[in-house]
Amino acid sequence: MVVTHELASIFAIGTNSVFLDAESRTMIAQGPPKELRDKSDNLKVREFLHRGEHQVMESEHG
């Protein structure tokens, strides 16, 4: 288990992820990061992971 907010790590090593919502103080999503990025019912999760994907690509290219 790894606890991180560093999005590059989520995509690089994560096979299962859990997303917690600060407002409701509950789990709002669970599953493979790439699958949640593309198919999550929760817009917050999709947007968060799409931002992370862009950060990963930027760090790979310089």
Please write the tens of the pLDDT for every residue from 36-55: 999 999 999 999 898 866 55
Q: Is the pLDDT of residue 61 over 80?
A: no
Give every CB contact of residue 20 below 8 A, 6+ residues apart in sequence: 26, 27, 28
Q: Is the pLDDT of residue 25 over 70?
A: yes
| Whole-number average pLDDT of the chain | 85
Give the pLDDT score at 53: 61
Predicted TM-score (pTM) of this structure:
0.73
**Residue that has been written with the tokens 């669970």 in this structure:** 30
**Residue that has been written with the tokens 């699958």 in this structure:** 35
Q: Is the pLDDT of residue 29 over 80?
A: yes
Please report, as a single letter, which amino acid is at residue 33: P
- 19 forms beta bridges with 29
